[in-house]
Amino acid sequence: MILNIKVKILSRKEVGPNIYLIRLKAPEIAQDALPGQFIHIKCSKDNYPLLRRPLSIHRIDKEKGEIFILFQAVGDGTKLLAQREIGDDLDIMGPIGNGFNIYPKSRKIMIVGGGIGVAPLLALCEESIRQGKEVRVLIGALKKELIIGEESYKILGAKVDVATDDGSYKHKGLVTDLLEGSIREGWLADQIFACGPKSMLKKIVEISLDAHIDCQVSLEERMACGIGACLGCVCKIKTKDKKEDKVKYEYKRVCVDGPVFGGSEVVWDD
């Protein structure tokens, strides 16, 4: 069930240029949360900005009853959030969404994150490793300073590779190059999970279709309610009609029908 609660800000750290990691005391949410879910946050204490902002749950610490968010301060909402003080009560709703679906029979997991898209993937990595999967992580960023979480993934026991657009660190190029490379080398995952810019996701879906690997992507869309009521946050999804003989299109809600969708269901071109 989605809760609307006030939770304490336990710590806040600028982990990269304009990128913040905030730890929240939220036992009720930590208890239920799945990797890939998000929380819907009232960034300020008054009604300006008006709407909440969705941020993925970055890490889930069920034992301590804590959750983490990792975000980039891009506009009014996230900038105000980055200024909230330790000890403040934060008004959040969550956990929201379907989360990633790790199949029990999968043995090898490939996780691909672009930019701030890495945010929801740490919890996924942790859970995958907890379930005994072999996990590889590919991280893409514009440049060296914007790479987030490389160490955190390594500590969990995942093999991590990095690509930067400008070549300022490790592979120069796109993170999708790394994905193609690993497939070429013969490391075939049972599932690919990805989060990041649309162009990256689209390419990853193409690669996964070619390689016949099951792929799940986490989408973003502008949200109002965050709980499925306003139909503001839709994306176009291919569905089959009842007789399964005709492809249909439907606008599904990113907030509660997603944010994770099967890569092949997503219609990218409008």
Partner 1 sequence: MIDKPCLKVEIAGIKLKNPVMTASGTFGYGQEYAPFVDLNRLGAMILKGITLKPKMGNPPPRVIETPSGMLNAISLQNVGVEILIKEKLPYLKKFNTPVVINISGDTLEEYVELARRLGEVSKEMGVTGLEVNISCPNVKKGRMVWGTDAKATYKIVSSIRKATTLPLIAKLTPNVTDIKTIAQAAEEAGADALSLINTLVGMAVDVNSRRPKLANVSGGLSGPAIKPVALWMVWQVFQTVNIPVIGIGGIIKVEDALEFIIAGARAIEIGTANFVNPRVTIEIIEEIEKYLIENNIKDINELVGSIKI
Ligand X SMILES: Cc1cc2nc3c(=O)[nH]c(=O)nc-3n(C[C@H](O)[C@H](O)[C@H](O)COP(=O)(O)OP(=O)(O)OC[C@H]3O[C@@H](n4cnc5c(N)ncnc54)[C@H](O)[C@@H]3O)c2cc1C
Ligand Y SMILES: Cc1cc2nc3c(=O)[nH]c(=O)nc-3n(C[C@H](O)[C@H](O)[C@H](O)COP(=O)(O)O)c2cc1C
Among 154, 159, 222, 248, which residue interacts with ligand X (rule: CB under 6 A)?
Answer: 222
Distance CA 142, CA 135 (A): 23
208 binds, options ligand FES, ligand X, ligand Y, none, Cβ within 5 to 8 A by partner type? none
Residue placing its CB nearer to ligand Y in the complex, 181 or 232: 232
Q: Is 48 in the site for its own copies (CB under 8 A)?
A: yes
Q: Is 142 in the site for ligand Y (CB under 6 A)?
A: no
Name, in order, each residue with C-beta under 8 angstroms of 92's C-beta and a sequence gap of 6 or more.
4, 5, 6, 7, 24, 26, 29, 39, 40, 41, 42
Min. distance of Cβ 230 from partner 1 in angstroms?
6
Q: Is 230 in the site for ligand Y (CB under 6 A)?
A: yes
Q: Is 119 in the site for ligand X (CB under 6 A)?
A: yes
Distance CA 265, CA 270 (A): 14
Residue placing its CB nearer to ligand FES in the complex, 211 or 225: 225
Among 21, 35, 68, 78, which residue interacts with ligand X (rule: CB under 6 A)?
Answer: 78
Q: Is 37 in the site for ligand X (CB under 6 A)?
A: no
Give whole-number Cα distances, 91 to 65, 94, 180, 221, 259, in Å: 17, 10, 42, 21, 21
3-state helix, strand, coil in the chain (%, to 5): 25, 35, 40
* Contacts of its own copies in 58-77 (CB under 8 A): 76
Min. distance of Cβ 231 from ligand Y in angstroms?
7
Q: Is 46 in the site for its own copies (CB under 8 A)?
A: yes
What ranges in 76-217 are assigned the alpha helix state H? 76-83, 121-130, 150-156, 175-184, 198-210
Distance CA 108, CA 81 (A): 37
Give whole-number Cα distances, 32 to 45, 54, 63, 118, 160, in Å: 26, 18, 12, 21, 28
Min. distance of Cβ 225 from ligand Y in angstroms?
8
Q: Is 247 in the site for ligand Y (CB under 6 A)?
A: no
Q: Is 210 in the site for its own copies (CB under 8 A)?
A: no
Interface residues with ligand X (CB under 6 A) are: 38, 49, 53-56, 70-72, 74-78, 116, 119-120, 220-223, 254, 259
